[in-house]
Structure 1
Amino acid sequence: MDGAMSIWGVWGTSETGHDKRLAAIRGRLLAGGAMCALCLAPVVSASDAHSQTVQVQGADISASRQFDIPAQPLITALSQFGRQSGLQVAFPAETTQGTRSNAVVGSFTPEQALTQLLQGTGVSWRITPQGSAVLGVNQFTDTEGGDFAAGDTTLLDKITIMSRVNAAHGSGFQGTPDWVYETPESISVISREAIVNSPSRNTRDLFDPMAGVWANRSEGQNPGISVNIRGLQDQNRVVTMIDGARQNFQRNAHGSTQRTYVDSAFLRTVEVEKSGTSSVGGAGTLGGSVNFRTLLADDLIMPGRRWGAELNAATGTNEFDFDGSIAAAFRVSDRFSVLGGISHKDLGAYDIGENGTLDVGDGTYRNEGLLFSGSESWSGLLKAEVDFTDNAKLTLGWFHNQVDASQGIYQDSGTQIFKREDQQYIVNDTLTATFAWDPVSDLVDLKGQLWYSGTTNEEKRGARSFDNLGEFTTIDYEMGTFGGSLQNTSRFTLGLGDLSLNYGVEAFRDDGETTAPATADPETGSDLSYGYRGLNPSGRRDVISGFTNATLERDDWLTVSGGLRYDYFGLAGTTKIFGPVERHTEVIETAYEEFIPGQCYTYPDGTPIINPVTGEQVCEEGRWVTRTKYKTVTSVEQDSADVDIDLSGGALLPTAMVAVKPFDWLQPFIKYSQTYRPPTIMEAFASGGHPNGTNNEFAPNPWLEPEQGRTWEIGANVSYDGILRAGDRFRMKAVGFYREIEDYITIGQIYRSETDFEYNAYVNLDGITRMKGIELEANYDAGRFYLGGTFSYIDTDWAETYIYNDVPHNAEPGVIFVPPETQFTIDAGVRLLDERLTLGGRVTHADMGRPAYGILAAGYATEAYTVYDIYGSYAFNEKAKLRFAVNNVTDVAYVPALGDTSLPAPGRTATASLSFRF
């Protein structure tokens, strides 16, 4: 049963009366609610990780809330009621079978909403003073005080408890769902509310306010997203997913390498896990995961209807030309729904800010804007959701994204300055099939998923003035990844508390290929295009992982979990290395005979001298002479050799967590996790050199080891309602972390005996890289006004040497990106005109601390900056809303964190958007 779980329980009383019986009911509800998240977890790590301990909060059951629940099967309606009311919902399993609910739309108390929802269904119900809704318990009667009446002990049927794990918005910072502040782990979520309220040039802009998370912009002209979590990025250190399908595309460059292409138009949430997990989605990751979740049919279909649609259109200044989408869903029957959508975005080359001084140089900026910072993209979404029974569901999805963009610079040829453009055409397709089965059994709650993601980057290289390549027709970079997972959750009631076991397997395969037309160097004969294929090598990588995690919950105050996973990887194939270019010069001597004709003589005045005997002019006879010719010849030789790569390995990775609740509003926790990242195809097979080079700069390292991490975290969740006034809400998550990484992979040098030559190569740093930091996000919402924000502090001590020939050497990475040492965002606003009008502002400040470092790091050392934004919205009615914003109000010139000094951020930009629901 999707989004639900079941427990067996005996609710009873003794001679002491209803107080003990009520305590028993509350204890069972709270413990069951805490455990139910395991069943609710989707197939990917971000949700699996944060769904371990969903507990009842002290909900204000007398306050009104906005409800938007269509008429539908009762089990689905109760799930939505639980999310929108903030209450846990418990009921016997058979209560919902074959029953439909009524629509509930408007502002109601939970009691009023549940009355309308269940009117005419024959289902009895009760809301407890502790904030839980109990349905179908006809054995109990009410007393005047609102408690359950005393009576004989009663054995109830199986109870199903719904939670709010699937919520897309809530009371936290920028609408973060409440389950984030009920989960004892380092989790952040970008809510649907934050996504639709923030028109963005690129989906990576959504990460700017998040604590401990950044989007790398070093390849700022490319619309791909590279996420940095706590200082780790690229090479799958951070796993990015779309609906649980991994996006493992890599492309070598001077900046970031990992790139995910996703449009924000169809995102319902973005879920970020910042450490390791013993669940689906944790295989092969070092520093956490990001899961982009797309829309569901229930997000579009309005109450009382079988279909629904949403239309959004935005435009703005500073080349924010158009951003629009339309999505629609249709409920064919009570058990089958379909969803589809299409979006389009058109952006031009923006102007940077005018206030401040930046050394942009002549490479990327002219009066017409930042060079090649525009793009045009299309995306589409198709989904089908099938409820075979109340207990079995299948969801099929296809997400498509295609982008036309360019990269390049202004280039000085010596006689003129011209634009050098590399055209990019990028297509990403993600296919998912997700199945969930939760029969009437505590031993079975089964979830499985099969998925495929494929990214193709077709590039047309512009001609360079400094090489012999000319213009290629196309270069194709491709990466296809397919995988799957299967997991089950079993639950038991023990004397110590309620135990849940989550266990399963996941596996995936990366298959990468780069093709480029061969172009021979006229002097050496070397393939000038090998630099594209060699540094973006073709190859295959397999990863398989098995895991188990046990969670024990003692009433509503203690949660203890421990997990173990085993990751295994394999990389095998053949690549090439090239030796030094050797030039041999030789002088060749050639002898030959040359005939010299005779010479006739004259007097100085030109009069011929006559032989008096013959009467003829005096002349010499011609003769043959021997001459020598010298010729210099240079021959060029470059040896090459095949290199077999066979890397494999595995590791056992434990996790452990303890959380307590000394008060209903406070949940401190501690967690330990180990992670393990095998080398990628790029790291294992990289060879060759810069295009137009001699192909002997890089070589593979057959002795490369996986990276391993250990992370300790201590934190607390706070969820408190009614602090200053009835109906206000305070949510906070604070986490401190310390991480150690062994065998961090970067660039060094190795020697290859096949060619008797030294190369740049990926190597393992010797020693431990240490990272520590603090992350905080909090929000206070009093209805008419709100105040929230995030804070991040990070300090990293990188290991800087590696062992080569038994001697430590200083590593020379291309570039290691270092996030700001401190960064904070403050967001505040007011709601007027019965909360139809919202006006807000936001300030973001970043202090850089230690800059990026490495042999290419000079262009990535950004300075501190402060940016101000204002925004607002006006709801004409329930179906139409106007949103507006001005980003970078002060038009400051700055380079964003993890950016490139030649690619500053946009200057002042105003946007306006209209959205309609049908």
Structure 2
Amino acid sequence: MAAIAVGCGLSVLACGVAAGPAFAQSVAIEDEIAPATVDPVPEEPVPPGEVGIDDDDVLEDITVTATRTAEPVDHALSGTSVLDRSTIQTQTQPNRPSDFLDLIPGVTTSEQGGDPATAINIRGLQDFGRVNVMVDGARQNFQTSGHNANGAFYIDPEMIRSVDVTRGATATVYGSGAIGGVVDFRTLTADDVLSADQVVGGFVKAKYSTNGAEPLGHAEFAGRIGQAFDVVTAGTWSRSTDYRDGHYNRIENSWDDLLSGLAKARYRPTEDQQITASALLYRANFDKGTTTVRSTDATTETYSLGHTWAPLDNPLVDLRSNLYYTTTRTDQTEVAGNNVGSKRSFDVATTGFDVNNTSRFATGQIGHALTYGVDGFFDRVDNTDDQNNSNKYTPNGRRSVYGGFVQDQATWEWLEVISAVRLDGYELTGGNVDNSGGRASPKLTVGVTPVPWITVFGTYAEAYRAPAITETLINGIHPGVEFEFRPNPNLKPEVAHEFEGGVNLRFDDVLRDGDRVRVKAVAYYNQVDDYIDLKSVQIDPPPPPPTPGYYYQYQNVAKAVLWGGELEAVYDVGFAFAGLSGQIVRGVDQNTGEELASVPPDRLIATLGGRAFDARLVAGTRVSMVAGKNGSPSGWPESPGYTTVDLFASYQVTERISANLNLDNIFNRQYTQYLDLSASPGFNARLAVGIKL
């Protein structure tokens, strides 16, 4: 498989080609269909919970995270992918976000056992905010130290309306630190529940998974008063048991109980204004660990208040603001190990804001979309531990990060130029440390469309990431093998310098009338100066035994270099569709020449499917081929390559009743995804039935 992927020279995506028949999002903007959303737009039938999307919401759905401006994804001058709800639910019926995020090229996730938290890796970069994960514009900055990723988030897939992913350091307008990319989740609105003529309505769903014996119940209810006000509430309950891998071995402590809820209200005081208030709650119970096992209660609360104002008669004003608060807390009690009954908690809270405006005007024959704004967030970490250890490995502290930007998206006939600069600053305090810093990061993108079917683009962008609280302040003795973790108050921020080039291809009526081909090929080279990594440092002179002659400390690597390629390509002819998805990522520590442990393996995904009965039935298969990885110098074990085959089908039984069947890993292949701590599930069947009320 690796030879195939390398031979291609780039990786390919069709993660959304098999979405269900409802792509009402496609009605407002011609050719906005992304590689992740390529179904035609039949008038009927429309699945439950997928209707009532008006033109305003269309623009929101396809906002490209690299620029903040609404534009077709297959025209976007960046490595950007969009998955909508229909795609996510039809293809994967996800239990966790990784079920659909891993379909996107350049994106790899990692998880551990029963902990339903997800960590995201983009182009070999992860941890400590290198990937900016947002839910309704609210940053998810939760992190704990351990044998896991240093940065993860909790979200119920049933609450997701869409997800936009921008790969690389090009999204300077979406806050500080995102040297790897941006993942922007958006939760349900009333338009996802109500059809255009409904005042009150709902949607309920029941799902059952065989591997892990997971029953799930989900309900949504919404109402609107004219065009001025609407509200939506949703809730999910699920309970799983330990799953089994491809060898039928039970993976201990892989169960979890989930309860989540969403409440969102929108008020339009005038035709051109909208105020949105939302509250999202996620709570899960599970056991975490192997030798030392801790009963864990994880809770995430996200609150946001947003305002948009776009006067129809004033193109200079398209003002958007958002104020948010997110807190994630895990409370743990040791139930197996050396200190049974001891308790500890991790509590990370983030308060933030984001205000930006886009002014549209022309200078001669050149059109401009000038976007400018300010943003910032404040992290507070407060941890407790009966054994007085966890608050050393994940130390308490405070960090403020703030910035502003200006971006001009200039268009003239076949030429588009995006120029931007971002100013970042930060302050970090804790213990005896009081650090601060700042920097300006430029960006320049040039896109050329000589003929309507091709756009060629190139970008140079810089991005700035301030050191995290843990990287700076970690201080303690590792249990078992008692080596030291030492703080490093002299850490410098990371600075990414990324070159990205790509091409978008758009062909219609290729083999027959009505068919479409969409291709996005991207290659990149990212040089990260002062890259922060955990390093083993020899003590000179060495201490007498049994004290280890080394300690660990986060240090600035002089330079880390990552490079690779992606290619998103789909073919759709209405009654059938096909596509590929994949990635090639490479990355080294230039000090040592060793590969970075965070670099994921090559991956290639092929999707083939069809539609029947006026697109009421959508069915297909997905083959995922993942290359092997050698063990890394930092201790990650060798990861053999593997191939899995999945089947999926959705059927619109009646106007109100829909059914989905997903068969994952149908050959029960034994494998462990790279950077995961537990073997992945063997064969799993998932059946879901939804009813529109």
Shorter-chain TM-score category? 0.7 to 0.9
State the match for 1:253 in structure 2. 146
State the match for 1:502 in structure 2. 371
1:443 to 316, 326, 335: 316
The SS at the match of 1:835 is coil
* Higher strand residue share: 2
Counterparts in 2 of 1:253-272, with a 5 A limit?
253-272=146-165
CA contact (8 A) 1:201 1:320 kept: no
Compared CA separation, residues 279 and 387, structure 1 to 2 (3 A)? farther
The SS at the match of 1:166 is helix
The SS at the match of 1:863 is coil
Compared CA separation, residues 202 and 305, structure 1 to 2 (3 A)? same
Q: Tell me, in whole angstroms, the C-alpha distance in 2 between the residues paired with 1:456 and 1:843.
A: 37
State the match for 2:36 in structure 1. none
The SS at the match of 1:893 is coil
Counterparts in 2 of 1:292-691, with a 5 A limit?
292-354=185-247, 369-409=250-290, 411=291, 420-439=292-311, 440-464=313-337, 467=338, 469-472=339-342, 474-517=343-386, 529-555=387-413, 557-574=414-431, 644-691=432-479
The structure 1 segments of at least 4 consecutive aligned residues displaced by more than 4 Å after TM superposition are 65-69, 83-87, 161-164, 691-694, 749-753
Match status 1:697 vs 2:484: yes
Q: Larger C-alpha radius of gyration, 1 or 2?
A: 1
CA contact (8 A) 1:787 1:827 kept: yes
CA contact (8 A) 1:278 1:654 kept: no
State the match for 1:817 in structure 2. 598
Q: Deviations 1:608-646 (Å, cap 9, x if unpaired)?
A: xxxxxxxxxxxxxxxxxxxxxxxxxxxxxxxxxxxx212
CA contact (8 A) 1:263 1:379 kept: yes
Q: Deviations 1:111-165 (Å, cap 9, x if unpaired)?
A: xxxxxx99xxxxxxxxxxxxxxxxxxxxxxxxxxxxxxxxxxxxxxxxxx97953
Which amino acid is the alignment partner of residue 686 of structure 1?
I
State the 1:287 CA deviation: 0.8
State the match for 1:181 in structure 2. 74
CA contact (8 A) 1:532 1:691 kept: no
Compared CA separation, residues 324 and 280, structure 1 to 2 (3 A)? farther
Q: Tell me, in whole angstroms, the C-alpha distance in 2 between the residues paired with 1:844 and 1:433.
A: 40
Q: Tell me, in whole angstroms, the C-alpha distance in 2 between the residues paired with 1:394 and 1:570.
A: 32
State the match for 1:869 in structure 2. 646
1:708 to 474, 495, 500: 495
The SS at the match of 1:253 is coil
Q: Deviations 1:40-98 (Å, cap 9, x if unpaired)?
A: xxxxxxxxxxxxxxxxxxxxxxxxx98898xxxxxxxxx984159969xxxxxxxxxxx
Match status 1:742 vs 2:688: no
1:285 to 178, 181, 198: 178
Counterparts in 2 of 1:887-906, with a 5 A limit?
887-900=664-677, 903-906=678-681
State the 1:209 CA deviation: 1.6
Q: Tell me, in whole angstroms, the C-alpha distance in 2 between the residues paired with 1:267 and 1:816.
A: 31
The SS at the match of 1:828 is strand
CA contact (8 A) 1:791 1:824 kept: yes
Q: Tell me, in whole angstroms, the C-alpha distance in 1 between the residues paired with 2:324 and 2:527.
A: 32
Q: Tell me, in whole angstroms, the C-alpha distance in 2 between the residues paired with 1:234 and 1:716.
A: 30
Q: Tell me, in whole angstroms, the C-alpha distance in 2 between the residues paired with 1:837 and 1:462.
A: 48
The SS at the match of 1:349 is coil
Compared CA separation, residues 867 and 278, structure 1 to 2 (3 A)? closer
Which amino acid is the alignment partner of residue 561 of structure 1?
I
Compared CA separation, residues 850 and 796, structure 1 to 2 (3 A)? farther
State the 1:220 CA deviation: 3.4
Q: Tell me, in whole angstroms, the C-alpha distance in 1 between the residues paired with 2:497 and 2:435.
A: 23
RMSD (Å) for aligned C-alpha atoms: 3.0
Compared CA separation, residues 399 and 658, structure 1 to 2 (3 A)? same
Q: Tell me, in whole angstroms, the C-alpha distance in 1 between the residues paired with 2:246 and 2:570.
A: 30
State the 1:718 CA deviation: 2.0
CA contact (8 A) 2:173 2:422 kept: no
State the match for 2:4 in structure 1. none
The SS at the match of 2:470 is helix
Compared CA separation, residues 179 and 500, structure 1 to 2 (3 A)? closer
CA contact (8 A) 1:818 1:851 kept: no
Compared CA separation, residues 786 and 512, structure 1 to 2 (3 A)? same
Counterparts in 2 of 1:144-183, with a 5 A limit?
164-167=58-61, 179-183=72-76
State the match for 2:15 in structure 1. none
Q: Tell me, in whole angstroms, the C-alpha distance in 2 between the residues paired with 1:701 and 1:895.
A: 34
Q: Tell me, in whole angstroms, the C-alpha distance in 1 between the residues paired with 2:82 and 2:390.
A: 37
Q: Which runs of 5+ in 1 are unaligned?
A: 1-64, 70-78, 88-103, 109-116, 119-160, 171-176, 355-366, 412-419, 518-528, 575-643, 802-809
Which amino acid is the alignment partner of residue 289 of structure 2?
G
Compared CA separation, residues 751 and 825, structure 1 to 2 (3 A)? closer
Q: Tell me, in whole angstroms, the C-alpha distance in 1 between the residues paired with 2:32 and 2:465.
A: 38
Which amino acid is the alignment partner of residue 382 of structure 1?
A
State the match for 1:795 in structure 2. 586
CA contact (8 A) 2:21 2:616 kept: no
CA contact (8 A) 1:82 1:163 kept: no
CA contact (8 A) 2:117 2:154 kept: yes
1:772 to 547, 558, 563: 563
Match status 1:781 vs 2:568: no
CA contact (8 A) 2:97 2:155 kept: yes
State the match for 1:916 in structure 2. 691
Q: Tell me, in whole angstroms, the C-alpha distance in 1 between the residues paired with 2:23 and 2:101.
A: 28
The SS at the match of 1:675 is strand
CA contact (8 A) 2:572 2:578 kept: yes
Which amino acid is the alignment partner of residue 341 of structure 2?
E
Which amino acid is the alignment partner of residue 787 of structure 1?
A
State the match for 2:5 in structure 1. none
The SS at the match of 1:702 is coil
Which amino acid is the alignment partner of residue 377 of structure 1?
L
TM-score by length of 1: 0.67
Q: Tell me, in whole angstroms, the C-alpha distance in 2 between the residues paired with 1:503 and 1:455.
A: 30
Match status 1:207 vs 2:88: no
Compared CA separation, residues 380 and 686, structure 1 to 2 (3 A)? same
State the match for 2:16 in structure 1. none
Q: Which runs of 5+ in 2 are unaligned?
A: 1-19, 34-40, 46-52, 65-69, 544-548
Q: Tell me, in whole angstroms, the C-alpha distance in 2 between the residues paired with 1:168 and 1:559.
A: 19
State the 1:668 CA deviation: 1.2
Match status 1:725 vs 2:671: no
